Each structure stands twice: as C-alpha cells, then as structure tokens.
C-alpha cells in the first residue's frame, strides 16, 4: 500500500462508512487511485464461461453500484469488474445508517436494500465504458413481479455488458431470498434466459447464492442452474450468521461480509463444486493471496472481493494478484485453471 493510500484510508475511517465510500469513489474519479492496470501473466490469464480475463481477481458487485467509476477501476489491477446491483426503477434503499465497519473482525455489515440510480442511468454509463464489465441484476422492493425485474434489467443493459449476475441472495430486501427456492428460482431463470436469448449478443449469465443454504437448498440451486443453462455460479453473498464476532456493531441487522465469512463461503464453494461442473466464482473474505488461492483450490475458477478494500485499499488487488502468481509458480501450476479444485478435500 502506498503512503498516499495509507493516509487516505486513515482519513476515510474518521467519517461514517457510507460517506467514506462515496468519497473513495470521488477520489478514484479524480485520478487518485492506482493506474498500473490489470496484473497478468501466463499463469494468471483466465477464461471463464467464454470470458477472457488477464487475471482471476475481480471486483464484487456493490462497490460501484451505479457504474460511476468504471474508467478509474479499469486502471487498477483487477482482472474483471462487476457493478450494480441495478433495478428497473431507481430506489433509495433502506434508511441510514445502513453500513457498519467491524474493524476488529476485518468485516462489515450492510443493509443497503438495493439502493441505486435505476437501470436507465446505469445503462447510459455502461454504454460509455469501452472495457468489459459485468452487471449484477436486482429487483425493486415494491415490484409487483420481482422475478420479471431481473429480465427487464438484462434486456435494457445487456447490450453494454459482458456478463450478468442474477442476485437473489441479498438478505436486505424482504423475501428476496425466497426466490432461491427450486420452483421460484426455475421460473425466474426461465424469464432471464428467454430475455438473454433475445439479445443481439447473448451473455454468460451467473447466479449469486447465499452462504446460508442447507445441503438440500444447495443441491437444488445446482440442479436448476444446470437445467436453465447458466454459465456459472457465484458463491457467495453476505451471511446472516454472527458467530465469533467481537466488534461493537456485531448486532446490527444486515449481511455480514469480510474475514468472518471466509470459512463458511469457502466450504459452500467446495460443496457446490461436487454438485456441478459449472464454473464457480468464489467470494467472501478474500483479503490475501493465500485466501484467493484457497478459494481456487476449493473449486473457484476466479474470485471477487470488496470488503477487504475497506482495510487494505485498492493497492491490495495488485498484492493479491502478484502473490497468487507466485503461489501458482511455487506449486508448479502452468495456469490458474490447473489449480482449480486441487484442494477441495480440505473443505469437505
């Protein structure tokens, strides 16, 4: 981490987390972020569901909800970006405060509730970005047909993105996770895939799942994802669990992300890799090269992070990518794809 980034992070921690997040995006757009571009090598070069990425370290949805900092983020070390979640209509989300730092746990709790500018504004910004980017699809809280919202956003934004993620796993929109049930999920994905087929350029479509699914729920998700022809699964979103936390804000409602999620999300990832051959993207608690490598060896073809940036800054991405390259070299892997699933047994 550069000296400037260290100072910036200290200053941001003096204000409330949501304000700090907004300031961080403004600083990025002012040119104060990393500018080295994606880290890459023969070992790091990654192909997932037909997508070609310079490295397997991605930005998770939620950091740039409204696609306002794409050009700046494209100059960082990330191999790929995902923005959103986007809903058909703009919505304010839940009342503030709704984001909490858990510094002692290297974690965060949020209950944003899909606050975003709506698909029209987001699509306009995506159309101006020349690089590849994925979009997280969401549903409006007051929608009469939440399942249809996902297809609506895909239809509007699809021409401007390289992949889409169906997000039915956020815990912050009431009853949204009910859409992970087998019948409801199948119906929802049918609509999404019909909309995708109608695009001039159909996209890889991923499904983002919760870490709190039981064995039956996980098996159902894997079965439906295959049946519907999805391109992969992102495991996982935030958790409702609160085990072992020590920070003052540990009792806040919302989804927990960061280091406490690493074990649970990685176990879910490993179990899922035994249920399907679909490509998996591992999310949850990635904050070091070793943790990114562990996700890959548990079954992930790529990983994403967000909460670790609160504590390590965007310079952390370069460290993780270069560190992962070194770990792959140490263990004799010619490419990251060769390491996928080689440590799955450690998590089962």
- Region 228-244: mean pLDDT is 96
Please give the backbone phi and psi of residue 313, each rounded to the nearest 5 degrees, phi first.
Answer: 70, 170
Q: Do 279 and 316 form a contact (C-beta atoms < 8 A)?
A: no
Look up the CATH number of the domain holding residue 235: 3.20.20.70
Closest by Cα among 94, 30, 24, 85 to 60:
85
Q: Look up residue 8 and give its two tokens.
A: 């910036």
Q: Provide the domain limits for residue 89.
A: 36-347
pLDDT over 90 at 163, yes or no: yes
pLDDT tens digits for 259-306? 999 999 999 999 999 999 999 999 999 999 999 999 999 999 999 999
Is residue 21 assigned to a domain?
no
Q: Look up 301 and say whether it is catalytic.
A: no
pLDDT of residue 115: 97
**Nearest of 44, 45, 70 to residue 59 by alpha carbon:** 70
For residues 37-53, give the mean pLDDT: 98
Q: 321-341 pLDDT, tens per residue?
A: 999 999 999 999 999 999 999
On whether residue 105 sits in a domain, the answer given is yes
Rounded CA gap, 280 and 161, in Å? 19
Q: Report if residue 237 sits inside a domain.
A: yes
Is pLDDT at 1 greater than 70 in this prediction?
Answer: no
> Over the chain, what is the mean pLDDT?
95
Number of domain units in the chain: 1
pLDDT of residue 174: 66
Which residue of the set 2, 41, 143, 170 is catalytic? 170
For 59-86, the pLDDT digits (tens) are 999 999 999 999 999 999 999 999 999 9
**Does residue 262 belong to any structural domain of this protein?**
yes
What average pLDDT does this structure show over 3-11? 81
Q: Is position 3 within any domain?
A: no
In a domain, 291, yes or no: yes
pTM metric for this prediction: 0.97
| CA dihedral sign, ordered 163, 238, 287, 343 | negative
Decide if 179 is inside a domain.
Answer: yes
What mean pLDDT do residues 295-319 have? 97
Asked if 207 and 222 touch (Cβ cutoff 8 Å), the reply is no
For 261, residues 6+ apart whose C-beta sits below 8 A from its C-beta are: 107, 211, 236, 238, 239, 284, 285
Looking at residue 173, what is its pLDDT? 74
List the one residue out of 229, 228, 224, 238 whose CA is nearest residue 275. 224
Question: With bands split at pLDDT 50, 70 and 90, how would you rate the model's confidence at 168?
Answer: confident
Percent of the chain with pLDDT over 70: 98
Residue 4 falls within a domain, yes or no? no
């Amino acid at each position: 981490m550069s000296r400037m980034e260290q100072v910036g992070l200290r200053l941001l921690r003096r204000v409330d987390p949501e304000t700090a997040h907004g300031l961080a995006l403004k600083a990025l757009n002012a040119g104060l972020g990393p500018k080295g571009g994606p880290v890459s090598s023969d070992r790091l070069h990654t192909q997932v569901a037909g997508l070609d990425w310079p490295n397997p370290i991605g930005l998770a949805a939620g950091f740039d909800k409204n696609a306002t900092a794409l050009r700046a983020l494209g100059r960082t070390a990330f191999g790929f970006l995902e923005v959103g979640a986007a809903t058909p209509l703009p919505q304010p989300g839940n009342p503030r405060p709704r984001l909490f730092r858990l510094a002692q746990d290297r974690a965060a709790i949020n209950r944003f509730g899909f606050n975003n500018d709506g698909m029209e504004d987001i699509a306009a910004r995506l159309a101006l970005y020349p690089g590849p980017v994925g979009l997280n699809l969401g549903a409006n809280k007051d929608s009469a047909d939440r399942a249809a919202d996902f297809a609506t956003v895909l239809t509007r934004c699809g021409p401007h993105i390289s992949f889409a993620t169906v997000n039915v796993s956020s815990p912050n929109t009431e009853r949204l996770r009910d859409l992970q049930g087998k019948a409801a999920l199948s119906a929802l994905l049918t609509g999404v895939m019909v909309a995708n087929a109608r695009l001039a350029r159909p996209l890889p479509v991923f499904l983002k799942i919760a870490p709190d699914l039981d064995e039956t729920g996980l098996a159902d998700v894997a079965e439906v994802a295959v049946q519907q022809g999805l391109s992969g699964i992102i495991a996982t979103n935030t958790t409702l669990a609160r085990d072992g936390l020590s920070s003052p804000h540990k009792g806040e409602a919302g989804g927990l992300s960061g280091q406490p999620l690493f074990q649970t999300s990685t176990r879910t990832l490993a179990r899922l890799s035994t249920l399907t051959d679909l490509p998996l993207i591992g999310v949850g608690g990635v904050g070091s090269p070793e943790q990114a490598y562990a996700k890959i060896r548990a079954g992930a073809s790529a990983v994403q992070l967000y909460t670790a940036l609160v504590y390590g800054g965007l310079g952390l991405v370069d460290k993780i990518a270069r560190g992962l390259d070194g770990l792959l070299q140490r263990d004799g892997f010619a490419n990251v794809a060769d390491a996928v699933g080689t440590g799955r047994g450690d998590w089962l």
